[in-house]
Homo-oligomer: A and B are copies of this chain.
Amino acid sequence: MKIVCIGSGNVATHMANAFKENEADIVQVWSKDFNNALALAAETGAQAVADLKEIDQDADLYLIAVKDDAIVKVVRALQEVNGLVVHTSGATDMEVLAGIKNYGVFYPLQTFSKAEPIDFIHVPLCLEANSPENLSALRLIAVKLSPLIYEVSTQKRKILHLAGVFACNFVNHMYRLSQQIVEKNEIDFEILRPLIMETAVKVQHALPENVQTGPAIRNDRQTLLKHEELLHKSPHLKEIYAILSNSIKKTR
Instruction: Tell me the A residues contacting B by CB distance below 8 Å.
Output: 68-69, 91, 109-113, 116, 118, 122-124, 126, 148, 150, 155-156, 158-179, 181-182, 185, 187, 189, 191-204, 206-209, 211-217, 220, 222-223, 226-227, 230-231, 236, 239-241, 243-244, 247-248, 250-251
Q: A194-B148, A212-B176 are in contact. Are A200 and B200 (CB under 8 A)?
A: yes
The oligomer's copy count stands at 2
Which of A118, A185, A250 has the largest number of chain B CB atoms within 10 A? A185
Nearest neighbor of A69 in chain B, beta-carbon distance? B222
CB distance from A190 to the nearest CB of B (A): 9
Assembly CA distance A244 to B182 (angstroms): 20
A178→B231 CA distance, assembly (Å): 27
Of the residues B165, B208, B230, contact of A162 by C-beta under 8 Å: B230
| Contact yes or no, B185 A156, CB < 8 A | yes
Interface residue from B116, B126, B199, B222 paired with A172 (Cβ < 8 Å): B199
A125, chain B: closest CB distance, angstroms:
10
Taken together as a complex, chains A and B put the C-alpha atoms of A172 and B126 apart, in Å, by: 24
Specify which of B162, B189, B214 is in contact with A227 (CB 8 Å cutoff). Answer: B162
The A interface is mostly helix, strand or loop, or mixed, namely: helix
The docked-state distance in angstroms from the alpha carbon of A101 to that of B175 is 39
User: Is A213's CB under 8 angstroms from B113's CB?
Assistant: yes
Q: Is the CB of A195 within 8 A of B213?
A: no
Query: Are A182 and B159 CB-contacts (below 8 A) given A212-B172, A214-B168?
Result: yes
Assembly CA distance A213 to B162 (angstroms): 13
Q: Which residue of chain B lies nearest to A159 when distances are taken between CB atoms in the complex?
A: B185
Q: Shortest Cβ distance from A118 into chain B, in angstroms?
A: 7
CB-based contact A174/B166 at 8 Å? yes
- In the complex, the chain B residue whose C-beta lies closest to that of A250 is B236
Bound state CA distance, A191 and B109, in angstroms?
8
A68 B169 Cβ-Cβ under 8 A: no
What are 23 A-B interface contacts by the 8 Å CB criterion?
A111-B195, A111-B198, A111-B199, A122-B194, A148-B191, A148-B194, A156-B187, A158-B230, A159-B182, A160-B182, A163-B178, A164-B195, A165-B241, A166-B241, A167-B192, A167-B195, A167-B199, A168-B196, A169-B217, A170-B248, A173-B251, A177-B247, A193-B204
- B residues less than 8 Å from A164 (CB atoms): 178, 192, 195
- Which B residues touch A206, using CB under 8 A? 113, 116
Residues in B whose Cβ lies below 8 Å from that of A204: 193, 196-197
